[in-house]
Amino acid sequence: MTQQVGELNPPYRLMLTPGPSSVDPRVYRALATPLVGHVDPWFRGCMDDVQVLLRQIFQTENRITMPLSASGSGGIEASVVNTLEHGDEAIVAVNGTFSDRMAVIAGHTPAKVTKVEAPYGQPVDPEDVRRAGKGRKIKIVGFAHGETSSGVITNIDNFRKVADELGALLIVDTVASLAAVPIDVDRQRIDICFSGTQKAISAPPGMSPITVSPRGEEAFRTRKTKVQSWYFDLTTAMNYWGKDRLYHHTPPVSLIFALREAMRMVMEEGLEARWERHRLNQLALIAGIEAMGLELLVKNPRDRLPTVTAVMIPHGVDDAKVRNQLLDEFNIEIAGGLGPLKAKIWRVGLMGHCSQKSNVLMFLAVLEKVLLDQGFGVPSGAGVGAAVRSYTHVDTAAAVSR
């Protein structure tokens, strides 16, 4: 009982992980601003700002648009528990741990859930979803736009087409892609789209922005049974985030401040410039990784998620030793593989604030040193050189087109 607990003093890490990403100092300052009450008239204005920014980033006019007080998994849960009830059928396209999580959570509802799978490292073929749903009454089709466990991106429009043919609502997990990759909720007619604050938005973890189309709202209205979850019932949660601002639960006010500032930064940069930044930094990283003699899990360049690059661990190299050295000697965190990809891949995240040229070049230089220490020979400077050429090529092309 006499044990003393010291002052909080975490190390300074560069989080090149698939989330959370490092955040800008402006976001830390917002996080530390004085608290106000969650029903304070001033805070209502702050909530308006958050919803304006969320609608801009999701590119939607949807009335139900709010940050859930929950991490990204809460977004999955809210999407499926609000749509599914007894007698319904769902199809979830599964190509990794997080899309599988959607199927698992949907399996907690009374609905019948069918998984349509693809090997980790590839997107699910929408044709397979069409075949699985043919002749059945499917309520929702769900998938992860960015599958963080394998670094795969899935084309939204192809899945919308199939969901239309099946008469189903389309649920899209954009936890790893929103604010880094083009997503236009209204134009792409996504019925429920959710994300997480800790990835390309670059705010702290703990909230899940979500938006629901009028068609999705209609499905909520016509339910025959109560939503299984009180906390994640989006209709009642909107009593707080809607015009009445009626108490539902006490939201994480400081996180909302931080999210507001992070989203202001997203819109100051501009969505298109941000998408391009993520694309170019990943191209440079990939050029460097390949020049070092390493392979990628995702073979088709079209399927590569710009925020997460899955690198195959070379034969004879110890996964944990490399990641530990990166962390202990260089304060850089990357992630290992999950599930069947454990000890097979490294996942390097370039998300939001972390997707910077300087991080790419520094990481490639450091990785060369660590791999050499672990006995894996890398041509000296090959990674950095290839990344520099990748950037120079783009700069030259841009200068020529000016």
Ligand X SMILES: Cc1ncc(COP(=O)(O)O)c(C=O)c1O
- Binding stretches for ligand X (CB under 6 A): 19, 71-73, 76, 98, 144, 146, 148, 173, 175-176, 196, 205
Q: How far apart are CA 65 and CA 234, in angstroms?
A: 10
Q: How far apart are CA 204 and CA 255, in angstroms?
A: 7
Q: How far apart are CA 311 and CA 301, in angstroms?
A: 13
Q: Residues with Cβ < 8 Å from 126, sequence gap 6 or more?
A: 155, 158, 159, 161, 162
3-state SS, residue 301: helix
Q: Which two tokens stand for residue 149?
A: 């466990």
Q: How far is the CB of 266 from ligand X (least distance, A)?
A: 18
Residue 371 backbone dihedrals phi, psi, to 5 degrees: -65, -40
C-beta of 143 vs 376, nearer to ligand X: 143
Q: How far apart are CA 363 and CA 14, in angstroms?
A: 10
**Cβ atoms of 150 and 322 closer than 8 Å:** no
Q: Which residue is nearest to ligand X (CB)?
A: 72
Q: How far is the CB of 148 from ligand X (least distance, A)?
A: 3
**Cβ atoms of 120 and 176 closer than 8 Å:** no
- CA atoms in the 13 A half-sphere facing the CB of 295: 10
Q: How many CB atoms lie within 10 A of CB 365?
A: 15
Nearest to 40 by CA among 263, 267, 256, 264: 256
Q: Which two tokens stand for residue 237?
A: 């949660």
Q: How far is CA 267 from the centre of its chain?
A: 18
Q: How far apart are CA 177 and CA 242, in angstroms?
A: 26
C-beta of 17 vs 281, nearer to ligand X: 17
Residues present in the chain in total: 402
Q: Which two tokens stand for residue 139?
A: 């309520």
**Cβ atoms of 302 and 181 closer than 8 Å:** no
Amino acid letter, residue 98: F
Q: How far is the CB of 312 from ligand X (least distance, A)?
A: 20
46, burial (CB in 10 Å: exposed 0-12, middle 13-18, buried 19+): middle
Q: How far is the CB of 373 from ligand X (least distance, A)?
A: 29
Q: Which two tokens stand for residue 312?
A: 């195959």
Q: Which two tokens stand for residue 242?
A: 């809607």
Q: How far is CA 206 from the centre of its chain?
A: 13
